[in-house]
């Protein structure tokens, strides 16, 4: 138990100010206005050199937060408000019930802060140097404010053998988690371990937030959103952000956001916006959004990502992209979208660009073509839908054996796989003209001399090409000339092929109607 007599002068100042919640400022030259302005951006990097006049033991801070010296506070609200201090020892409050505000500004902490399992009010450590913060399973009634601080992973900040600078696993923060301008260093480890975190006010990592190491938010529930505008995440060779199964309203990775390392959003549910507008993405697997659900996905990075983008099984109501948004490899198998929108000045229904987009999917996947064709039909572009389905069959052709490829190519040339039956009409017209010219310059022999009508080259050619019914010419004449006989047999075969293709095309059209 601490006694007042053993407290140092700065500790006594804090002790006396606590009952009334008065701030204690240990910065040198606090009367200098310019110096006060400088302190706003100071990260207390040089705090290890501060002398005893600015040193407070962590045990004193802990004792006050746990209820020491609250007698005689009158109507005031006790609080620890400390600025510019060198805090020695470990601030150990694991499992504690803390009813008072903790506010540290520009302080240098010698060891990690342990709030594991604690229940506390607002925790604010702004512009501080902190070896690590362990707040797993903690319950914070207000906000957690670490803005402009430096967390660099001290020797005790380990989770399963990995350096972890900020531990918030299964913590519940009723307000916001504020990390704007914060620098977190855990190279090769976990910059932020926040699996199962509940943050009702959202998580804000803007204005120069930097994380060296993985930011892990597995299964987190962020009711107020996750905001990473202008943030820099770096974990080369691993995941820069892992937010699998996360539930949130907004994921904003825009305005200069940079990720050097993969981003994993498998199974994430975002009820509003996911945006990568103006982002820079660099990894082997750049963004993994497999099975993600989002209302609005905007994918318009500054340049195409260095690695693959995985959208397999994702469900998106609106997908917005740009002409140069996508990398060479985009995995689209199972992606379902309600509408497509292009960046300003581009036509969202540009079928050529959309086909180039889905061809970036590795291998032949029928669903990606069916999905695109379905969208074109929904917006009334049936001609574009047919073009997509023809492209699907052409892609499929590359997967067939030689005989299948030959038959597929024939269907493509003759009737466009049934999606362009008018091609059959052109072929019929061309073959009719050919037969009329050839047969019109030769004379066939009658099957039954003296019976039947005269020979008509046009009628005879049409009779050969139409396999159903008859016009009385095909069976009334035969050829002694080898060339005409060969052409007649070829026209009969072509007629069967073209008629079958036309019937197939008409059937497809009626079924779609």
- pLDDT at res. 490: 85
Instruction: Give the lowest-confidence range in 242-246, 318-322, 327-331, 420-424.
Output: 420-424
**Most distant CA pair in the chain: distance in Å?**
140
Angle at 356 between CA 367 and CA 269, to 5 degrees: 55
pTM for the predicted model, two decimal places: 0.83
Q: Has residue 99 got a pLDDT over 80?
A: yes
Q: Quickly state the pLDDT bin for 502 (edges 50, 70, 90).
A: low
Q: What is the pLDDT of residues 361-406, one digit of tens each?
A: 999 999 999 999 999 999 999 889 988 998 998 898 888 898 888 8
Q: Which helix (H) or strand (E) holds 315?
A: strand 315-321
Q: Has residue 288 got a pLDDT over 80?
A: yes
73-77, 230-234, 437-441: which has the highest mean pLDDT?
Answer: 230-234
Q: Has residue 32 got a pLDDT over 50?
A: no
- Residues 6 or more apart whose Cβ sits within 8 Å of residue 226: 202, 203, 205, 217, 243, 246, 248, 250, 251, 252
- pLDDT at res. 508: 55
Q: What is the pLDDT of residues 423-470, one digit of tens each?
A: 777 777 888 888 888 877 777 777 777 666 787 778 877 878 787 766
Instruction: Give the lowest-confidence range in 151-155, 215-219, 323-327.
Output: 151-155
- pLDDT at res. 488: 79
Q: Has residue 414 got a pLDDT over 80?
A: no
What is the C-alpha separation between 47 and 54, in angstroms, rounded? 9
Instruction: Give the lowest-confidence range in 235-239, 267-271, 468-472.
Output: 468-472
SS (H, E, C) 281-293: EECCEEEECCCCE
Instruction: Give the lowest-confidence range in 30-44, 285-299, 490-504.
Output: 30-44
């Amino acid at each position: 138990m601490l006694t007042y007599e053993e407290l140092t002068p700065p500790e006594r100042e804090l002790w006396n100010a606590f009952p009334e919640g008065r701030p204690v400022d240990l910065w040198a030259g606090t009367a200098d206005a310019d110096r006060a302005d400088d302190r706003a951006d100071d990260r207390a990097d040089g705090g290890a050199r501060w002398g005893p006049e600015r040193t407070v033991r962590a045990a004193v801070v802990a004792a006050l937060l746990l209820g020491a010296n609250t007698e005689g506070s009158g109507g005031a609200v006790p609080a620890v408000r400390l600025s510019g201090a060198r805090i020695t020892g470990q601030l150990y409050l694991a499992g504690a019930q803390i009813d008072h505000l903790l506010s540290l500004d520009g302080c240098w902490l010698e060891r990690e802060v342990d709030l594991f399992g604690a229940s506390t009010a607002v925790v604010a450590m702004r512009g501080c140097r902190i070896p690590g913060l362990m707040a797993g399973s903690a319950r914070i009634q207000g906000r957690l404010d670490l803005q402009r601080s430096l967390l660099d992973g001290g020797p005790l900040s380990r989770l399963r053998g990995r350096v972890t600078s900020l531990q918030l696993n299964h913590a519940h923060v009723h307000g916001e988690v504020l990390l704007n301008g914060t620098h977190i260093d855990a190279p090769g480890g976990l910059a932020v371990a926040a699996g199962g975190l509940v943050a009702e006010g959202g998580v804000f990592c803007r204005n120069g937030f930097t994380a060296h190491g993985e930011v892990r938010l597995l299964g987190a529930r962020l009711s107020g959103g996750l905001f990473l505008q202008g943030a820099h995440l770096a974990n080369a060779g691993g995941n820069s952000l892992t937010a699998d199964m996360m539930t949130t309203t907004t994921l904003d990775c825009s305005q200069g956001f940079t990720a050097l390392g993969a981003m994993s959003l498998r199974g994430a549910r975002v009820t509003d916006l996911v945006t990568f507008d103006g982002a820079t993405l660099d990894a082997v697997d750049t963004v993994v959004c497999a099975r993600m659900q989002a209302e609005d996905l905007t994918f318009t990075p500054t340049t195409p990502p260095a690695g693959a983008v995985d959208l397999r099984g994702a469900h998106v109501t609106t997908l917005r992209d740009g002409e140069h948004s996508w990398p060479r490899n985009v995995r689209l198998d199972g992606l379902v979208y309600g509408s497509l929108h292009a960046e300003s000045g581009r036509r969202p229904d540009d079928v050529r660009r959309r086909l180039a987009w889905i061809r970036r999917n590795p291998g032949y996947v029928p669903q990606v073509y069916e999905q695109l064709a379905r969208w074109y039909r929904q917006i009334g572009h049936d001609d574009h839908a047919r073009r997509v389905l023809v492209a699907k069959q052409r892609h499929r052709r590359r997967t067939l054996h030689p005989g299948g490829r030959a038959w597929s190519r024939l269907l493509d040339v003759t009737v466009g796989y049934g999606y362009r039956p008018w091609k059959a009409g052109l072929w019929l017209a061309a073959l009719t003209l050919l037969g009329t010219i050839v047969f019109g310059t030769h004379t066939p022999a009658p099957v039954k001399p003296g019976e039947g009508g005269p020979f008509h080259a046009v009628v005879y050619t049409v009779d050969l090409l139409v396999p159903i019914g008859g016009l009385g010419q095909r069976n009334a004449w035969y050829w002694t000339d080898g060339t005409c006989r060969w052409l007649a047999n070829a026209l009969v075969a072509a007629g069967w092929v073209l008629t079958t293709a036309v019937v197939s095309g008409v059937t497809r059209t009626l079924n779609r109607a």
